[in-house]
């Protein structure tokens, strides 16, 4: 089946930047690509960054460890990029989740991934601009470097979803087929049941369509979402223009509170 439609959204063109005078009881849930790090031509082009690591460390100190990264990337990939500086991680869109205490929960890969892995891999071999990515619980075909192949990639992914029962997740220039299960909103909800997130006001920051699940969950639980990037229909309450604005806003959150 194809990805379920999101609930009603509002156009983000008039959304303001998120405020700085937030209560210290907030919990931050941050996407990686397009939010903490710029979108790159290839996923492997994103690597560790000392400035980002320092910022995340300050955020964890300021918010008493109520910081989680929730991304479509795999857990090993996120640990590499973040230098293992963030214990709480929701990986593969929430299908893999590591609590702040280090406990990891995951699902068994769906049987249909074997066919999806083979077929999407073959498509990638047919066009040098296509990039195949295997995350264990999902497989993805990126067409950022081959935009003319978008229609063919999406059509193939839709057929595979219908034939296998895998969930089709369309993102920024990527078609991904994943094991049915948790999404980013479910990951956020699970974190809020655990120390140190219990009782916190959830704030989810992300750029992609997959982050809408996180925005909706945050809003449902009393918090809000922050869209990163160009205006589009969204359930987020605020918007930041790009990763540089995200960095500046996060840095401001770590500033000492003045009387």
Residues with catalytic function = 31
Tokens of 228: 């990163």
Taking the C-alpha atoms of 129, 134, 135 and 137 in order, what is their torsion angle to the nearest 10 degrees? 130
Q: Compute how many other C-beta atoms are within 10 angstroms of the C-beta atom of residue 24.
A: 12
Q: How far apart (Å, rounded) are the C-alpha atoms in residues 103 and 116? A: 29
In sequence order, which residues have a C-beta less than 8 Å from that of residue 257 and are 6 or more positions away? 24
- With b for 16 or more beta-carbon neighbours within 10 A and e for fewer, the 119-134 pattern comes to bbeebbeebeebbebe
In sequence order, which residues have a C-beta less than 8 Å from that of residue 180 and are 6 or more positions away? 110, 165, 166, 167
Outline where 135-227 has alpha helix (H).
150-164, 184-191, 212-220
């Amino acid at each position: 089946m194809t990805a379920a439609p999101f609930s009603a959204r509002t156009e983000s063109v008039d959304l303001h930047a998120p405020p700085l005078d937030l209560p210290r009881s907030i919990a931050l849930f941050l996407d990686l690509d397009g939010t903490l790090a710029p979108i790159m031509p290839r996923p492997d082009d994103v690597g560790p960054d000392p400035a980002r690591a320092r910022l995340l460390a300050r955020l964890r100190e300021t918010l008493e460890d109520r910081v989680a990264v929730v991304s479509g990337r795999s857990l090993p990939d996120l640990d590499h990029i973040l230098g293992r500086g963030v214990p709480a991680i929701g990986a593969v869109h929430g299908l893999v989740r590591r609590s702040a205490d280090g406990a990891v929960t995951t699902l068994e890969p769906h049987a249909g991934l074997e066919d999806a892995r083979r077929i999407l891999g073959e498509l990638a071999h047919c066009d040098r601009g296509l990039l195949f990515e295997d995350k264990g619980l999902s497989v993805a075909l990126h067409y950022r470097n081959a935009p003319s192949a978008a229609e063919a990639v999406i059509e193939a992914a839709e057929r595979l979803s219908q034939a296998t029962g895998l969930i089709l997740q369309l993102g920024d220039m990527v078609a991904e087929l994943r094991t049915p299960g948790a999404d980013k909103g479910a990951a956020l909800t699970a974190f809020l049941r655990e120390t140190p997130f219990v009782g916190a006001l959830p704030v989810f920051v992300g750029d992609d369509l997959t982050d809408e699940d996180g925005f909706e969950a945050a809003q449902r639980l009393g918090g809000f979402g922050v869209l990163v990037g160009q205006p589009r229909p969204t359930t987020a309450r605020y918007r930041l223009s790009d990763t540089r604005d995200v960095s500046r806003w996060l840095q401001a959150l770590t500033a000492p509170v003045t009387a």
